[in-house]
Structure 1
Amino acid sequence: MAIERGATGEFRTGWTLLLAGMLGCCLGVSALPIYTAGVFIPHLEKDFGWGRAELSLAVLLFTLALAAASPVVGRVIDRFGVRRTVAFSIVGASSLYVALAFFLSGLALLYAGHILIAAVGAAAAPIAYTRVVTNHFAKARGLALGITLLGPSLAATIGPPLVSAAIDRGGWSGGYLMLAALIAAMLPFLLLLRDNAPAVPLTLEGAPVTGPLYPAPQLRRIFVILFCAFGFFALSIGGLLVHFVPMLTDAGLSGADAAAMAGLIGLSGMVGRVAGGAAADRFFAPHVLILISCAAVTGFALLAVWGATYAAVAAVTIGFSLGAEADLMAYLVSRYFGREGYTRAFGWLYAAFIAGTGISPLILGFLYDRFGNYMIGLWAGAALLVVTMILFTLLPRFRDKV
């Protein structure tokens, strides 16, 4: 099937890919477990007596396992196809959550369960779904990726309330069963994916691109900049995904109100993903990322200075930034590394992003246990965001034409 020219034609022939990709990113292991981890903390803390640093370590191990598996996932997908690889991950992760619900009895099992879920479920993540989307879309690639990556923001919106309600009915085991059901719900939608989706041609000065877009030394420099920038961004902001609810309950909000406030991160993230992707189709993406990082710094400052008073505003700015940043990572990889290098480069950058997201809650939890508040962690996160903005200024202009 020939791809129609122009953005309208791309959406007309690829809307099913967008739907499947968005749902997959929402119900995958890279979104739901992380966005709902904070909901489990008070209940596991109460029932088992574990500290927040110990519980944050489970999130760290989960994300490190996911990061370690991500560079391998792309090659597995290339060999076995998107559908089969993702289906295996979904069934495996869902089954392991059921086992965790019935057999969790100690920290060792909590850690082992999270490591296995991440390793087995690593293909049910953006690395698979964005690969299909970037292969189909060119003129509207930024917007298409923004729509696809609405999934994690949707998970941040619906995940905490659904899991919180399940915990209210059946305890923390009910929460894990809810996660298993949500992840498994993606299986029928895999039929919408096409492993052999036709690829759009990339051109450089009017000629088709068949090899690298940049000389090898420059490409390595670009990779290092992106690896550090997205790693630092995740390290600065990832801890809030886990500690935002406990931070607000410490300030006097009820668990339900805090979970609802956390849902604003997901809602604003949806806007950020679409707006950031659309902006990248019109403006130089690294400049868009600099402005987005400024918004995140504002959110951190609001939480550090005024706490829960401006928590809603902080949630909106931080969620907007997180949504747009993750969206534009896939966009930048496609523009700098091309189709042939996309899977490998995205796998490593996604690994850095996920690793930073996992390490951040542990650091924030440690600082809370050490000082009794989140103040130092918030200002450190703001400083890392400034470093991220500086790194984005070092990126070169795109050479490919889409």
Structure 2
Amino acid sequence: MAGDAGHPLSAAAPATVEPLSGRRRWVIAFVGLLLLFTSSGVGFYGFSAFVKPLSAEFGWGRGEISLAITVQFLTTAIAGPLVGRLVDRYGPRRLMLTGLCLYGLTLLGLSRMWTRWHLLAGFVSLGLGSALFGTVPVQSAVAAAFGPRRGRAVGLVTMGISLGGVLMAPVAVVLVDSLGWRSALAVLGLGILVLMPPVVAAAIRLPRSRSPADRPAPPGPSLGDVIRQPVFWALGAAIFAGSLGSLATLFHLVSFFTDRGLDPLTASALLSLTTGFGVAAKLIFGPLCDLISARRVMVLTFSLQVAGLCGYLFLPPGVPSYAATAVVFGLGMGANSAVHPILASQTFGLAAFGTVFGALVAFFQVASALGPAVAGLAYDLTGSYSAAFLMFLGGLTVGLLSLGLSGRLLASAPRP
């Protein structure tokens, strides 16, 4: 791999799991795709089908209902560092099984909800379940199965996030329309409980490596070791600032297009174009991280998002300009989930990957939770998305500066 040298902590201890070979590791990658498909497709994209039915039955405002998504993201962010440490200690398999059972049972419980606190408590539980079987355990399993050069595998696995939006949103609509929202939630919960745990139990098996004395390899750096490093905070600031507008722009894009005079069908088609190139981005930029450093790839993807937001703000309104901008923004936005785990391992190594990635991904989760609300508030105050998009451009600028700072910190870090 060409690119930046890792931080000295990356050499602090050997990896605790030997990479696998052959088809077995690709089976793990495919199961990881299914898990991310489940967490994003059911808990985020699919939930959009339940907003109107819940509002109609209980009289809740859409803002109140959407608050549940923010609560879910924040819960996942808070749980991330602890889950990462547990993955390093016990492996991902047990946590995944626990999280899937919690997730499925919570959906069954939500099918019987009657009050707002049921909704919010349920989404706290969904956030915890997602943390236990989602991004951190999945990427830890992929890191263990493939080792350092895993760009293609990470690209494949993170496609599950985008495919969850493409496939689960219409499935949820069909279930709600045909069964009602309560039965739809119950079907989704039962489906997860019946289908996913047996698949994970059979596929996620990672042999622990042994030292020459046949004892467990020394543990990697602790969370305290990691967060005391300035480069950790520089990368965290870059991830937070650069990700604040990614999901938020996607979330509000249809409203932005219709405000600019497009009909809803065309606006939805442009959103699909954006997410489609988001899928392609994972297959492009994940493998690219095997050739150049993930930090430099992030500079490229942040720059694409800057170009995309500038296109939305300053190009003449119209389908051709919006379509071109959607391609550029989709490529930049879609790369986030593929690049972040590789950034963590290239900087801090694989010895305590779960701990490091769990802490770094919390910055992304918090940004994803706050971004849509910030954009909505900016629109309510100004009657336009321009202020929000300008704010997100500022965030990307801060992100690029933070990436530059992280490069300087890595270059100046003392070597053992």
TM-score band (shorter)? Answer: 0.7 to 0.9
- What is the CA deviation profile of residues 16-66 of structure 1, one whole-angstrom value per residue up to 9, with x for unaligned ones? 1111111112112x5542234445445545555544443332221111111
Q: SS of the counterpart of 2:137?
A: helix
Deviation at 1:137, TM superposition (A): 1.8
| Contact 1:149–1:327 (8 Å) recurs in 2 | yes
- What is the CA deviation profile of residues 282-323 of structure 1, one whole-angstrom value per residue up to 9, with x for unaligned ones? 112212111111111222233334567355444433332233
Matched, 1:383 2:394: yes
Per the alignment, residue 205 of structure 1 pairs with none
Question: How many pairs does the alignment contain?
Answer: 384
Amino acid of the residue matched to residue 276 of structure 2? L
1:1-400 matches, cutoff 5 A: 10=21, 12-28=23-39, 32-45=42-55, 47-103=57-113, 105-138=114-147, 140-173=149-182, 176-177=185-186, 179-180=188-189, 183-184=192-193, 185-197=195-207, 220-248=229-257, 259=268, 261-305=270-314, 309=319, 310-396=321-407
Amino acid of the residue matched to residue 291 of structure 1? L
Structure 1 residues 54 and 91: alpha-carbon distance in aligned structure 2, compared to 1, 3 A threshold: same
In the alignment, the residues of structure 2 paired with residue 332 and residue 357 of structure 1 have an alpha-carbon distance, to the nearest angstrom, of: 19
In the alignment, the residues of structure 2 paired with residue 240 and residue 45 of structure 1 have an alpha-carbon distance, to the nearest angstrom, of: 24
Deviation at 1:244, TM superposition (A): 3.2
In the alignment, the residues of structure 1 paired with residue 171 and residue 144 of structure 2 have an alpha-carbon distance, to the nearest angstrom, of: 34
Q: What is the CA RMSD across the aligned residues, in angstroms?
A: 3.4
Amino acid of the residue matched to residue 226 of structure 1? L
How does the TM-score come out when normalised to structure 2?
0.80
In the alignment, the residues of structure 2 paired with residue 168 and residue 253 of structure 1 have an alpha-carbon distance, to the nearest angstrom, of: 27
In the alignment, the residues of structure 2 paired with residue 116 and residue 88 of structure 1 have an alpha-carbon distance, to the nearest angstrom, of: 12
| Contact 1:229–1:392 (8 Å) recurs in 2 | yes
Deviation at 1:99, TM superposition (A): 2.3
Amino acid of the residue matched to residue 117 of structure 1? L
Residue segments in structure 2 that go unaligned for 5+ positions in a row: 1-16, 212-216
Residue segments in structure 1 that go unaligned for 5+ positions in a row: 202-207
In the alignment, the residues of structure 2 paired with residue 68 and residue 218 of structure 1 have an alpha-carbon distance, to the nearest angstrom, of: 15
- What is the CA deviation profile of residues 206-246 of structure 1, one whole-angstrom value per residue up to 9, with x for unaligned ones? xx99866xxx6997111101111111122222223433344
In the alignment, the residues of structure 2 paired with residue 172 and residue 69 of structure 1 have an alpha-carbon distance, to the nearest angstrom, of: 29
Amino acid of the residue matched to residue 228 of structure 1? A
In the alignment, the residues of structure 1 paired with residue 307 and residue 279 of structure 2 have an alpha-carbon distance, to the nearest angstrom, of: 19
Structure 1 residues 275 and 331: alpha-carbon distance in aligned structure 2, compared to 1, 3 A threshold: same
How does the TM-score come out when normalised to structure 1?
0.82
Kindly, what percent of the aligned residue pairs are identical? Answer: 26
